[in-house]
Amino acid sequence: MEILKKLDALAFKAIRTFAGIAMVLLTAVIIIQILARYVFKVSIGGIEETPIFLMMISVWLSAIIVAREDGHVKIDLIDLMIKNKKILYILKTVLRCLTTVVLGIYAKFALDYLISSMRLGDTTPGLGIPVWTMHSFVFISAFFMTLYYLINSIKAIKEVWEWR
């Protein structure tokens, strides 16, 4: 179990670092584009697709971070209607499990899409980057989000089970 915690910490650190690097690169590329276009009056051909890809990478990797910490945006209307804390926690656990199942299905679709994209071999028009590289971040994110929601669901089920 200890090795899994270490693997989790290592993977999480890598994801956070990579997401941070993508955001810094995104900012740098946009500043360079602005300076080139409006100060030096030149266009840097092909680079205009880079910020889009860096933003995609940042968003999908950040989604993993949010899933791990169970920090996604929630509207807690159920809290207003159900006052019994145990029933409320059980309902939230069921919803967390449902989210895990839906994310698992989405991860499967993302994997199928990635495989299809790899078979097609399309590249981006500007820089010639294989399109499947962008799709791989969608699958990686979906996989890790599913994994972290599964872990959170198991912890919640375990807590509910201990109430008996």
Query: What angle, 0 to 180 degrees and rounded to 10, lies between the N-to-C axes of helices 85-120 and 131-162?
Result: 160
Residue 164's pLDDT is 64
H/E element holding 10?
A: helix 2-34
Tokens found for residue 135: 């799709």
Residue 128, Cβ density class (10 Å: 0-12 exposed, 13-18 middle, ≥19 buried): exposed
Residue 144 sits at the vertex; the CA angle it makes with 142 and 149, to the nearest 5 degrees, is 95
Contact predicate 63/141, CB 8 Å: yes
Mean pLDDT by 10 residues, the chain (164 residues): 86 93 94 91 83 94 91 72 80 91 97 96 89 95 95 90 77
The residue among 135, 142, 45 whose CA lies nearest residue 100 is 142
Residue 110 confidence (pLDDT): 97
pLDDT of residue 100: 95
pLDDT at res. 83: 77
Give the model's pLDDT for residue 71: 78
